[in-house]
Structure formats: structure tokens, C-alpha cells
Amino acid sequence: DFDLNGIEVSSIADIPGGTGMGSSSSFTVGLLHNLTAYSGLDISKPGLGAGACRVELDLLKEPIGKQDQYAAAFGGLNLIEFLPNGTVNVEPILITDHTRSELNANLKLYYIGNQRSASGILKEQKKNTAQKEKYDTLGKMVDLVYDLKDALTQGKLDDFGSILHKNWLLKQSLASGITNQRINNFYATALDAGALGGKLLGAGGGGFMLFYVPVHKQLAVDEVMQQLDAEP
């Protein structure tokens, strides 16, 4: 907590809120970092992550997870584990410069519109996880995290695309608002044009879609997505 007066904070963003980019958590981490520095205090990366979680989860009562806050606090490419006792482990994923360059070149982001409130979707998803089938689905998604880490460290980036695809198929079964016919059409069209896999970012319902697309297929995917009014 900060005992500060006479401070005005304003923000301007290049992307709209509610699009799955983690902007609220990034803003919160940045604000805490600035207020800490302004107060002449030091704060660790774990402290920033925990502090941002306290603001969003405890004070604002948002029904969200903790991954965005810790991703923003630490930066880089990491495996983040949230343990039942509340401990958060952040392990850097070490990849070669070649793999990093190829990964960056093959990832495509498309804005499909329809900003949404994550709260409603996440509340339903949290409620649904009481069902054994939904809980088991979450377990399968956790297993894919370690498969994805192996694909990255071994430089098997085509596997990265297929794992994204498996994750998306599992994710959309968790709550009714995650996907819809329009989103499914975007996804199927991108795969038909050459994407190896992808997912809708954030809770679901709209915003940005991420795809793994080999460079030689990107022009074709761009063309069909633009025909559907998706902005690369």
C-alpha cells in the first residue's frame, strides 16, 4: 500500500481493452512499479506479480487468473507454475537465437473485434470446473504446457503449432462464451490456408487470435483473414 497524495495517473493504450492481451495486468504491474520507485522503494519481480494480483483479484474482485500479472512482472519467455499452496514458480525457457527468431517470424496475430468482458466467461468457467469432465480438461491443458516447453527447447516449432491447436480445442469446451460460429469460421479458414494451429487470446468471445503460420504460408493466411475483416 502507498501513502501518496496529489498524484494524477492517466493512461493511453494502442489496443482496446477486453481483447485478451493482458493489458489490465500489464498496466497494474507498470503502475505499481512506478509508484514503488516514486516512493523510493525497491520491489522484486515476484513482489510486482503478487502485488498486481492483490489489486486485481483481492481489491477489484476480478474473477481472473494470475498468469498475466506474473508474465508482465518477469518479462521474457517463461514457464509459470501456480502451486496449490499459493507459491508461484517462474522458470525461464532457454531457447537458441535461431529458434527465437523462427518463432517470432512464424507467429501471426489478427484482431477480429468484439471486445468482451472476461468476467462473465471466467465466472462460468470457474463454476464449470466443479464438473469432473471440465476439471479433467484443465489437467490436459496443463500437460500441454510441458509439451510446449519441450517443443521450444528442442526447436520443434511445427509441434508448437499443433500443440496450440490441441489447446484451443480443449479450451473452447470450458465455457459457452469462449467461442462462437464467427470465431470458429476465422479459425477454420486460417487452418485451411496454411496455419498449423492457433488460439483466441484471453478468456474468449473476441479480441485477438494468435496463429502459428510458416512464413511461406503467411501471405495466403493474411489474404483470407482480411476477407473476413480480420486485421493482421
80 φ/ψ angles, rounded to the nearest 5 degrees: -115, 120
The catalytic position among 1, 58, 68, 229 is 68
Buried b (16+ CB within 10 A) or exposed e, 95-127: beeebeebbeebbbebbbeeebebeebbebbee
Q: Is 198 helix (H, G, I), strand (E, B) or coil?
A: strand
Active site residue 58: no
What separation in angstroms does the CA of 90 have from each of 27, 46, 83?
20, 9, 11
Q: Give the whole-angstrom CA distance, residue 176 versus residue 186.
A: 18
For every residue of 105-160, DSSP letters joined together read: HHEEEEEEE----HHHHHHHHHHHTTSHHHHHHHHHHHHHHHHHHHHHHTT-HHHH
Catalytic residues: 68
